[in-house]
Amino acid sequence: MSHLLMVESWVAAMSALLPRAIHETGHQFSFLTRDLHHYLRQSRQTPHPLLAARNVLTAETNDIDALWPWLDRARDLIPFDGAITSCDYYLTTVARIAERYGLPGPRPEAIATCLNKDRSRAAFAAAGIPGPQIRAARDWPAARAAAEEIGYPVVIKPTDLCGGMLVRRVDDEAGLRAAYEQLAAATHNSRQQLRSPVVLIEEFLTGPEVSVESVTVGGATHVIGATDKSIVGDDCFVETGHMFPAALDDETAGELADLARAAVAAVGLTDCISHLEVKLTPHGPRIVELNPRPAGNRISELIRRVTGIDLACVHAQLAAGDEPDLRHRDTGLGSAAVHMLLPSKAGTVVAVTGVDRLRGGEVVEYVVPEPGARASAPRDNNCYLGRVMVVDPEGRGARSLAEGLVADLDIVIEADPSERTA
């Protein structure tokens, strides 16, 4: 049995999946956070899954140099055999902890390259991996010049945020200026870490988007499969749903598997789960980004239900130095899908109708908001009010089934006074 140090976590899905997975793989964990109330005040789960930790520890996780003496003392008192997190903003911290103490895990340089979209794009380009045209800009004149060079429409995005935050499509200079100023004003991320001022200006890619989930162990990258996405928003990119496996022909699936292996090799990832996002453009697949951790939005649960491979457990096993079992098993299911509940506007949830239909046999999981829940404007993947997950034993019909069930829900939202005035 290994004892893992979990450094922070996401508040949503992985905050429940990862503690469960650590225990199911025969290990224990201690939870290290700078602010325990960040988790307690944002979760409906009682007790919170992170409180299943053997120890709950508090230290300043945003300052790794100040954390080293604290960790040296903590490791003497409560020795740990591995380090883990599910939160993008602490993946490099965990990799540095693993390197310092000789624990399993990928190299910090590889993780940092993935998390900085500017650096990862450069690594992909050097390896000859196709992606959009891209320019990095440190100020407004450089951003404007980059957009003019690439040609509108373009996408402007931060190099170091996740969940689609502040990623915008813009069609002209006025839209670019507004998006640039919004990004420049966001000096810190949600964990109060100082952000990079660099922004990316990218060619706008057309076509459906998929993700490729893979696991790299001992130098070999095993592709688990591809997941499709549904995305809404005129100028933003909000993921509304996913199905695993994606409805792809064998040639495209093979091409995506090769692309995933090449991307992992280009940045030097080892002993790590990877979540690669790809656009299927008319000119072929183009990389959007590579994330060195399990996919969010319950994609890991879709994969578990269809293949029997539990990526949350794999994540724990890699941190403990175990050899994960990546064999596909027959679960009797052809596909699984999740569809997210998006608010129509900012405000307060008054009522939800149509929930009775979610109690059918094909629905394996659902969460709907309670009256009084706050709703934010649908601008990124942090706006979800709930979800519906379904399975299809016969084939790849889970997506349409999930979409139909969500369409039958009526979430009544009372707009904020400022929204009503506008």
> How much is the pLDDT for 422?
46
Residue listed under structure tokens 């499509």: 169
In the chain, the amino acid numbered 74 is A
> How much is the pLDDT for 218?
87
Stated pTM of the model: 0.94
> Is the Cβ–Cβ distance between 44 and 53 less than 8 Å?
no
CATH 3.30.470.20 segments of the chain: 207-331, 333-422
Taking CA atoms, 339 is separated from 10, 232, 247, 277, 398, in Å, by: 20, 12, 16, 18, 10
> Is the Cβ–Cβ distance between 30 and 78 less than 8 Å?
yes
Residues in a beta bridge with 231: 239
Q: Give which of 132, 288, 121, 323 is closest to 210, Cα–Cα.
A: 288
Phi and psi of 48, rounded to 5°?
Answer: -65, 135
Length of the chain: 422
Task: Assign 3-class secondary structure to 50-105.
Answer: HHHCCCEEECCCCCHHHHHHHHHHHHHHCCCCEEECCCHHHHHHHHHHHHHHCCCC
CA 18 to chain centre: 14
CATH code of 132-203, in short, is 3.30.1490.20
> How much is the pLDDT for 421?
47
CATH 3.40.50.20 segments of the chain: 3-103
Q: Give which of 390, 129, 158 is closest to 276, Cα–Cα.
A: 129
- CATH number of 207-331, picked from 3.30.930.10, 3.40.30.10, 3.30.1360.70, 3.30.470.20: 3.30.470.20
181: alpha, beta or left, given left = phi > 0 and alpha = psi -120 to 50? alpha
- Two structure tokens written together for 269: 């990832």
> How much is the pLDDT for 420?
53
CATH 3.30.1490.20 segments of the chain: 132-203
According to DSSP, the β-strands at 3-7 and 82-84 are parallel
CATH architecture of 3-103: 3-Layer(aba) Sandwich (3.40)
Radius of gyration of the chain (CA): 21
- Two structure tokens written together for 142: 């450089």
Taking CA atoms, 352 is separated from 355, 383, 390, 413, in Å, by: 7, 17, 19, 9
Q: What is the mean pLDDT of each run of 10 residues along the chain (422 residues)?
A: 95 87 97 93 78 95 96 95 96 98 97 95 96 96 98 97 93 98 95 95 97 95 97 91 97 97 97 97 96 95 98 98 96 97 95 92 94 92 94 96 96 79 46
Q: What is the DSSP letter of 334?
A: S
Superfamily of domain 333-422: ATP-grasp fold, B domain (3.30.470.20)
